[in-house]
Amino acid sequence: MTAAAINSAVFDWQGPHGLPQFDRIADEDYAPAFAHALALLEAEIEAIANDTAPADFESVIGRLERAGESISRVSALFWNRAGAHTNDVIRALEREISPQLSRHYSKIAQNRKLFARIDAVWENRAALGISGEKLRVLEDHWKGFVKSGGKLDDAGQQRLAQINERLAMLGTQFGQNVLADESSWSLPLAGEEDLAGLPDFLIPAMAEAAQEHGAPGSHAVTLSRSVIEPFLTFSDRRDLREAAFRAWIARGEGDHDNRPIVAETLALREEKARLLGYESYAALKLDDTMAKTPAAVDTLLMPVWKKALEKADAEREALAAMVAEEGRNHAIEPWDWRYYAEKRRQREFDFSESQVKPYFQLDRIIEAAFTVANRLFGISFRPRPDIAGYHRDVRVFEVLDAQGEVAGVFFGDYFARPSKRSGAWMSAFQSQHGLDGGRIPFIYNVMNFARGAPGEPVLLSLDDARTLFHEFGHALHGLLSSVTYPSVSGTHVSRDFVELPSQLYEHWLTTPAVLKEFALHYRTGEPMPAELLDKVLAARTFNSGFQTVEFTASALIDMAFHTAGEVPDPMAFEAGRLADLDMPSAIVMRHRTPHFQHVFAGDGYSAGYYSYMWSEVLDADAFAAFEETGDPFDPQMAARLKQHIYSAGGSQDPEDLYKAFRGALPSPQAMMEKRGLV
């Protein structure tokens, strides 16, 4: 690869504050950039491994922390492109680069000279006086190399590298298959009869969806959650609800079939765990988490599951009674639940989602998220419309500290589009660290909200608003990071701790002070009436049996897959395990196996989907700390929260961090109460 073929803008970021200049980077630039960056990284690693000086923290770990800036930059840009605005060129390169990256990282992880130097620092850590953040960083590097095969023989290392490469390829294909199913499917709606029951806020979004699917002037249901969930909630057409629901849960098992990918993935993960000396893949993944063992996860999930089943059964009976009242005799099916639950909510709490949604404007909820961060942590957000993002929809904000200095940059990408994978997430172009003068964080949030009619504000459901607050909580974990070493910055924490800052932040959305200030009607500007606000708050645990069952079922299946050993037929295994759990026929897993991207489109939440609930135990207890003061913005509590949770990253053991904030670890009781299960 010649230097002339490499676009320096991929690595040399010359935008304001050192941001990348997205408009200077073409899709064709990524392949040569990866080749160049990987060569640089390999040279850096060889230099560290072949150093003949005595191994100490700075000469080994310090240099590893500094190595690979070029590959970090091209990777950050590319994976953002692949997730948020992909195309055929990017998808093809994704399939090519995933196994290539795996090969390179396996080569690094299995470099015996390098591991010998890391091991020497680890064994000599007491004599070297390594403590605090440095000790945590050293431990993470040492454990990471051991889990990557550092102690295996040559044959074992070779097989592990093959497994990792194949898993990388399979994860990429899994995610691309789901996106292909989501972006290609739509259900055209022919006329007024097909729109029966649909609220005004949904009609423009469905018109926009039809436009994107080549049918301007009509309406369509798509598999975007912000379209299909309200359609299932409000459509009077049971036949159309069924058609849409069946397509939604069938993602990944049609033309783009993920079932063989799941089977192979599970087999390879099991082989990997055994190769590394673990009894199961779950044991391997949980080794460095707060939960530690699959048994501890079951101890959390099963009592919740039993309570949720009881609550869901009572909810189903109430919905069945409503069906009977209408003179119908059908059972409650999965495509009926949301529809009748909404009717029940309107009856029992005397309000509907269509009454609430006009008070949740996207722009006002963004402002609310920013204002809460200012009141808690002293930071503020300054719009920079003159700075281009990676897509025309992206909004860019400078993040200012209490002294008014720029402490980071935040990108908000809020709208669904066919080139974007579904869901919502946070990531970083650049993480904060304090080495060599330091770096400020460049953090982004990605959502998939449906657009409104041209010229009309975008309205969110309460769940959408919670999602925005959730992902912004992740963003704050990155933006408020204050550590020295990049590998423990921001969200680089154990999987069952990473959801604490995000889930905790959701609590502030529904505090009366925030709702009164920001839940303003998009036409009148009037705040939500006190009577409606009281009803919304009273209904917070409504339908919690359904919600807890669909989530917990996914977490239990994830853990079952990764503790079972051989799973030759994952779909039969899923069905059998759900039957053993007495899964209600009227509820479907939140993420069925063929489109369970958290678990199979990469390794992120594999044997880790439970972590949302583990973190929920923590977040319920953490917010109770504020409630006990009588002030959701208590300054002393907010300072402790910032210091020990949002700013500390992975610089300490998460248990120690939580205890430093709260004094002790919580029991699941507060979480169960929050969900209305007790």
Contacting residues for 456 by C-beta, under 8 A, at least 6 apart:
204
Q: Are residues 52 and 118 in the same domain?
A: yes
Query: Any idea what the CATH number is for the domain that residue 636 is in?
Result: 1.10.1370.10
Is residue 267, in this structure, part of any structural domain at all? no
Is residue 86, in this structure, part of any structural domain at all? yes
* pLDDT tens figures, 233-248: 999 999 999 999 999 9
Q: Are residues 512 and 565 in the same domain?
A: no
Is residue 172, in this structure, part of any structural domain at all? no
Q: Are residues 458 and 508 in the same domain?
A: yes
Which of the listed residues 494, 522, 538 is the one where a domain comes to its end?
A: 538
Q: Are residues 484 and 607 in the same domain?
A: no
Does 4 score more than 80 pLDDT?
Answer: no
For the segment 101-120, the average pLDDT, to the nearest whole number, is 95
Is residue 166, in this structure, part of any structural domain at all? no
* pLDDT tens figures, 8-45: 999 999 999 999 999 999 999 999 999 999 999 999 99
471 is catalytic: yes
Length of the chain: 678
Q: Are residues 379 and 317 in the same domain?
A: no
Give residue 134's pLDDT: 98
The DSSP letter of residue 23 is G
Q: Are residues 556 and 457 in the same domain?
A: no
- Dihedral sign, Cα of residue 644, residue 648, residue 649, residue 651: negative
CA distance linking residue 376 with residue 191, whole number of Å: 49
* pLDDT tens figures, 402-437: 999 999 999 999 999 989 998 999 999 999 999 999
CA distance linking residue 64 with residue 70, whole number of Å: 13
Q: What is the pTM (predicted TM-score) of this model?
A: 0.90
- Single-letter residue type at 155: A
Of the pLDDT bands very low, low, confident and very high (cuts 50, 70, 90), residue 2 is very low
Place of tokens 């069905």: 575
Is residue 268, in this structure, part of any structural domain at all? no
For the segment 187-194, the average pLDDT, to the nearest whole number, is 93
Say if CB 167 and CB 102 are below 8 A apart: yes
* pLDDT tens figures, 615-664: 999 999 999 999 999 999 999 999 999 999 999 999 999 999 999 999 99
Q: Are residues 146 and 101 in the same domain?
A: yes
Does 1 score more than 60 pLDDT?
Answer: no
Average pLDDT, the chain: 95
Place of tokens 């994976």: 79
Three-class DSSP category at 398: strand
Is residue 503, in this structure, part of any structural domain at all? yes
CA atoms within 13 A on the CB side of 412: 25
Give residue 674's pLDDT: 85
Least confident of 191-195, 369-373, 485-489, 559-563: 191-195
As to burial, measured by CB atoms within 10 angstroms (0-12 exposed, 13-18 middle, 19+ buried), residue 252 is: buried
* pLDDT tens figures, 315-350: 999 999 999 999 999 999 999 999 999 999 999 999
Query: Any idea what the CATH number is for the domain that residue 94 is in?
Result: 1.10.1370.40
Give residue 191's pLDDT: 86
Place of tokens 């299909």: 228
Say if CB 33 and CB 20 are below 8 A apart: no
Tell me the residue range of the domain where 69 lies.
3-151
* 451 or 548: which leads in pLDDT: 548
Give residue 403's pLDDT: 96
Of the chain, the end-to-end C-alpha distance in Å amounts to 63
Is residue 165, in this structure, part of any structural domain at all? no
How do strand 380-383 and strand 219-222 relate by DSSP bridges?
unpaired
Q: Are residues 300 and 413 in the same domain?
A: no
Q: Are residues 395 and 525 in the same domain?
A: yes
Q: Are residues 311 and 335 in the same domain?
A: yes
Q: Which of 471, 499, 574, 616 is catalytic?
A: 471
Q: Are residues 35 and 72 in the same domain?
A: yes
For the segment 174-192, the average pLDDT, to the nearest whole number, is 93
* pLDDT tens figures, 461-484: 999 999 999 999 999 999 999 999
Give residue 678's pLDDT: 83
How many domains does the chain contain in total?
4
Which of the listed residues 151, 174, 201 is the one where a domain comes to its end?
A: 151
Which of the listed residues 485, 511, 538 is the one where a domain comes to its end?
A: 538
Is residue 458, in this structure, part of any structural domain at all? yes
Q: Are residues 316 and 405 in the same domain?
A: no
Contacting residues for 229 by C-beta, under 8 A, at least 6 apart:
338, 461, 463
